[in-house]
Amino acid sequence: MFIEQVEFENLSNPPPQFQRWKMRVVLHGDGFDDRAAPIQVTVGEQNVEMIVPMVLENSIGGIQGFLVEVPQDGDVVSVGYADGPLFPTDFQFSNDLVVA
């Protein structure tokens, strides 16, 4: 899979069912396989939760999920599948990547 962009969004006034999470993270890219083993994402040592695909016509154009805590500057975004290793991307958390 190829990750071409990562965005973070602060959840400032989430509805009650989302109050557990502080941020939403979105990974844009391609090559996401539709398979039984789910996609896993970490930002630093923190697991991204509630990961769901973003479907574009006939393919998956990215994924999004939620973080319980705001990452530390420089925390690397890694991605893979539950049945294999996680691979670091070229993206690290920074305030420059926060869109809201």
Question: Domains in the chain, start-ordered, CATH in brackets?
Answer: 2-97 (2.60.40)
Q: Is 8 helix (H, G, I), strand (E, B) or coil?
A: strand
What rounded mean pLDDT belongs to the chain? 92
pLDDT of residue 21: 96
What's the predicted TM-score (pTM) here?
0.90
Residue 37 predicted with pLDDT over 90: no
Q: Which two tokens stand for residue 2?
A: 């190829």
Alpha-carbon distances of 36 from 28, 39, 57, 81, rounded to whole Å:
21, 9, 20, 9
Beta pairing partners, 86: 80
Confidence of residue 36 (pLDDT cuts 50, 70, 90): low
Query: Is the pLDDT at 94 greater than 70, yes or no?
Result: yes
